[in-house]
Amino acid sequence: MALQRLKQVCQQPLPLKIPSTGHRILQTDASNEFWGAILIEEENGKKHFCGHASGRFKDSEKHYHAVYKEILAIKYGIKKFEFHLIGHHFTILMDNTSFPKIMDLKNKGVPEPQLLRLKDWFSKYQFTVKHIKGRRQLNP
């Protein structure tokens, strides 16, 4: 009985909302081969789905370290929802704590060119990064 109900729920399309005045949240995750992102709007204490995106990493990206894949998931998610994010302060939810530290290049020697390019790319957006544990990567 429960399995049948789960199948029915999974076959229903998610109701999506066009973001308006609420706070935008981009939640991302990455695996060895794939990335995913969802855009959520929080308004009056309620969270609403606004969109979802996913993709496969390029062959050249599949050998990247997991931290870089998480960063790419953020980049691809922002690119997908750029129209709704640019000009707004938004929150990024991710299960990796390294992203803010990597983007803060002050305490390091000479950073890798790839990190410099990523830092430059992210600089046009205003966001706060919040860590959520991997098993808490649940959607509203």
Q: Domains in the chain and their CATH numbers? A: 15-136 (3.30.420.10)
Predicted model pTM: 0.83
Q: How far apart are CA 118 and CA 121, in angstroms?
A: 5
Residue with tokens 């929150």: 91
DSSP 97-125: SHHHHHH--TTSSS--HHHHHHHHHHTTS
Q: Which residues contact 78 (CB under 8 A, 6 or more apart)?
A: 26, 85, 122, 125
To the nearest whole number, what is the mean pLDDT of the chain?
85
List pLDDT tens digits, range 58-90.
999 999 988 889 999 999 999 999 999 999 999
Does the pLDDT of residue 44 top 70, yes or no? yes
Query: Nearest Cα to 35, choosing from 73, 77, 79?
Result: 73
Q: How confident is the model at residue 8 (pLDDT cuts 50, 70, 90)?
A: confident
